Amino acid sequence: MILGVFRNRGYDQTVTLAQVFWITDRQAQPARLFICSERELSIAEDFAHFGADIGQLRKRLSGHGAEVFDTFPPYGAWLRRRFGIENDQALELFHQTVSMKSVGNLTDFVRAHMLEPFDVAERVAALISHFDDLNRSHEAVLKAKRQIELLSPLVSDCERHTNISSEIDGLRACREAIRPYFASMKIGLLDKRLTTLIEEWERQNTNVKRVEVRCDALRDEQNKIRRNIADNGGDRLDWLTGEISRKEMDRGKREVKSQRYAELVRSIGEHPASDEPSFLKQRRHLTTLAESARSREADLQNQATEHGVTLRQGKQEHDTLCAEIASLRSRQSNIPVAQSELRERMCRSLSLRERDMPFVGELLQVRDTERDWEGAAERLLRGFGLSLLVPEEHYLRVVDWVDREQLRGRVVYFRIRPVPRTDLANLHRDSLVRKLAIRPDSPLFAWLERELAVRFDVACCMTQEQFRRETRAVTRAGQSKAPGERHEKDDRYRLDDRSRYVLGWTNAAKIAALEGKAKQMASSLGEVASKVNQIQAEQKGIREHLIAHSKLDEYAEFGELDWRSVAADVAQLKEEKQKLESSSDVLKQLIERFDQITIELERMQRELEDHRDKRSKTEQRRTDAETLRCQSQAVIAQAANAGQLIEIDKLDGIRTAALGEHQLTVESCDNRERDTREWLQAKIDADDMRANHSGRLY
């Protein structure tokens, strides 16, 4: 009989087989489970009733052969194995059923005690994951089908690309074989030409030999007749003939020199000499003329240099004046262009307006009622009028810029600080300041009024007595006087020269003065240029005369020019020859025959030279053809070593397609080869484009 004994909450309890169960000790004390017989059970009951120690009970039970388990899992496994219970859930259900008193919710009870634990979330997640795998597999199948559909045209395109590439390779092989192909064609043409040239050379060589034989015969006959003529007085005729020829040549040379000498003498205004005394006298006269011409040429060169310098300087001054006029027309002030450009450069660099930094001269002018003192005022105020006025807010930037920049000029400027208006009551009654007007709309009016009162309270004296009496004074003529008995008058420029005026806020009068000055300067420059042209023309004539003189020095003796005496000698020799020829009929016949043979020999010699020339040209053409043939054979051999020879029929078809119907010659082979290569290259390029286009579709 199997019993289970356990301790729970301080008391022991013995159960029968029908009441097999387990109780969990809530005080974390493990339950003691035993298997025993009825006798052993009575021992256990005695121990239980009398509160005996469990350890002693274990010893007693073990001594009687009972199986004792310290923990429940081994006992549960042993029990399930004995009763055929497959899992712990059934044993748990049995225990709960035996020990339960009430069931609140049957569904929960069944779910908790009768069913195996089931992880729904994990199963759902696994199901979803499996569905995603199936969905992805389905999409992969569809994608593979679409790829197959898309790759089908690609396969055909690849096949077409392969075919095109194969065609291109074939065309490239044909292109590489074009040169040996045309070389073979050229060899055939050269063979025909060489055959023709050999025949032509043999024909010309035969003609040369025939004419040489004829020329030798004519020379032999000519020599015999020459001996016969010599026997009949022909030696004198030969000498006369040679002498006449020599004299004729000498006469021709002297006549050419005489004509050239006459032209040179007339070019310098003289008449050519007709005899030796006049020739010698003329040479001495020409030497004197040459010395005079050289002296005059040196004087003219000095004058040309002086006028050239004057003209160059005048042009520079005129260009400067025109630039000044153009600058004045673009503005209203009388400030010179150099100072105006300096201010413009400064304002552009500092991003300032030009009207914010005016020149003093742009804000001052002589009153209309005091125009008689305008020249003196301009001369006295010129330096102050060319000064820049820099307001306080721009002062630091201007100082830095002026110190940093290379101005390429001179600048004077004043730092303008606010000042109160000046009382002019203390000024001299004839003060120059009273004759000046300040631009009324200028923001610098007060400062400028004060500065004028301090710097230029100068008495304008009408008489010398007043001028000598005043401490600071100026006359209408421009003479000034300063404290310390210093006097000054600067008459380097005219007092009324408006081109130098700097005061005033209008510049019409200055522009008119400068334009008048420019016209006067242009007129003067025209006169100088005219003189320079005249000098240059005269120099040109003198140089021509000097060149003629230098060439005349070549004719040192009159004998070089005396062709008339030689002509008289020729006439005398011809007369003697004519008399000698007419004195003998035999000699006359021999001479006529000699002349005929000479004419015939000259004709045959010309024919011989013609045949020799043709033979030489034929031989040269033959040599050239053989050279071309060797070159063509070398091309074919090189191509054979490189494996570039292909079927002749294929290249014949390409040549026909590229060139059409044509006649091929040796000279045209290279051009036809180039045309065929270009046609074939164009076709290769077109096929390359087709191949590249088919490859880019995917």
Q: What is the pLDDT of residues 397-414, one digit of tens each?
A: 999 999 999 988 899 999
Whether 346 is covered by a domain: the verdict is yes
Q: Which domain holds residue 50?
A: 4-84
Share of the chain above pLDDT 70, in %: 82
Closest to 17 measured CA to CA, from 2, 27, 31, 28: 2
pLDDT at 263 over 60: yes
Query: What digits encode the pLDDT tens for the residues 286-323?
Result: 788 778 888 888 888 888 888 888 888 888 888 888 88
Same domain, 491 and 404: yes
Same domain, 212 and 348: no
Same domain, 358 and 410: yes
Whether 197 is covered by a domain: the verdict is yes
Same domain, 209 and 74: no
Token couple for 469: 């009496």
* Euclidean distance between CA atoms 478 and 495, whole angstroms: 7
Residue 25 is predicted with a pLDDT of 34
Residue 654 is predicted with a pLDDT of 76
Whether 128 is covered by a domain: the verdict is yes
> 317: how many CB neighbours lie within 10 A of its CB?
14
Q: Which of 54, 84, 114 is the last residue of a domain?
A: 84
Q: Which of 506, 538, 554 is the last residue of a domain?
A: 506
* Euclidean distance between CA atoms 303 and 297, whole angstroms: 10
Residue 50 is predicted with a pLDDT of 42
Contact indicator for 428, 459 with CB cutoff of 8 Å:
yes
* Euclidean distance between CA atoms 91 and 197, whole angstroms: 129
Beta bridge partners of 106: none
Confidence of residue 591 (pLDDT cuts 50, 70, 90): confident
> 688: how many CB neighbours lie within 10 A of its CB?
14
Mean pLDDT of the chain: 78
Token couple for 72: 């429940």
First to last CA, the chain: 87
Query: What digits encode the pLDDT tens for the residues 484-519?
Result: 889 999 888 888 888 888 888 888 888 888 888 888
* Euclidean distance between CA atoms 673 and 635, whole angstroms: 14
Lowest mean pLDDT among 95-104, 290-299, 426-435: 95-104
Q: Is the pTM of this model over 0.75?
A: no
Same domain, 79 and 152: no
Whether 132 is covered by a domain: the verdict is yes
Whether 108 is covered by a domain: the verdict is no
Same domain, 143 and 77: no
Same domain, 377 and 478: yes
Closest to 353 measured CA to CA, from 413, 382, 385, 393: 393
3-state secondary structure of 345: helix
Please, which residues have CB within 8 angstroms of residue 595's CB and are 6 or more apart in sequence? none
Lowest mean pLDDT among 497-511, 553-567, 572-586: 572-586
Lowest mean pLDDT among 11-15, 61-65, 469-473: 11-15
Residue 582 is predicted with a pLDDT of 67
Whether 35 is covered by a domain: the verdict is yes
CA dihedral for 531, 535, 538, 540, sign (positive or negative): negative
Query: What digits encode the pLDDT tens for the residues 139-182?
Result: 888 888 888 877 777 777 777 777 777 777 777 777 777 778 77
Burial class (CB in 10 A: 0-12, 13-18, 19+), 460: buried
Confidence of residue 646 (pLDDT cuts 50, 70, 90): low
- The beta-carbon contacts of 43-46 under 8 Å, at least 24 apart in sequence, are 44/3, 44/5, 44/14, 45/14
Written as one string, the DSSP assignment of 624-692 is: HHHHHHHHHHHHHHHHHHHT----HHHHHHHHHHHH-S----TTTHHHHHHHHHHHHHHHHHHHHHHHH
pLDDT at 105 over 90: no
Beta bridge partners of 4: 15
Same domain, 338 and 475: yes
Closest to 614 measured CA to CA, from 214, 190, 202: 202
Number of domains in the chain: 3
Residue 104 is predicted with a pLDDT of 66
Same domain, 462 and 600: no
Query: What digits encode the pLDDT tens for the residues 35-57?
Result: 444 444 455 555 454 445 667 77
> 20: how many CB neighbours lie within 10 A of its CB?
17
Whether 557 is covered by a domain: the verdict is no
Closest to 375 measured CA to CA, from 489, 472, 496: 496
Same domain, 52 and 131: no
Whether 45 is covered by a domain: the verdict is yes
Same domain, 175 and 44: no
Token couple for 326: 């153009």
User: pLDDT higher for 156 or 13?
Assistant: 156
Same domain, 384 and 468: yes
The residue length of the chain stands at 698
Residue 584 is predicted with a pLDDT of 58
Q: Which of 506, 528, 555 is the last residue of a domain?
A: 506
Confidence of residue 22 (pLDDT cuts 50, 70, 90): very low
Query: What digits encode the pLDDT tens for the residues 180-209?
Result: 877 888 888 888 888 988 888 988 898 888
Query: What digits encode the pLDDT tens for the residues 451-477?
Result: 888 888 999 999 999 999 988 999 999
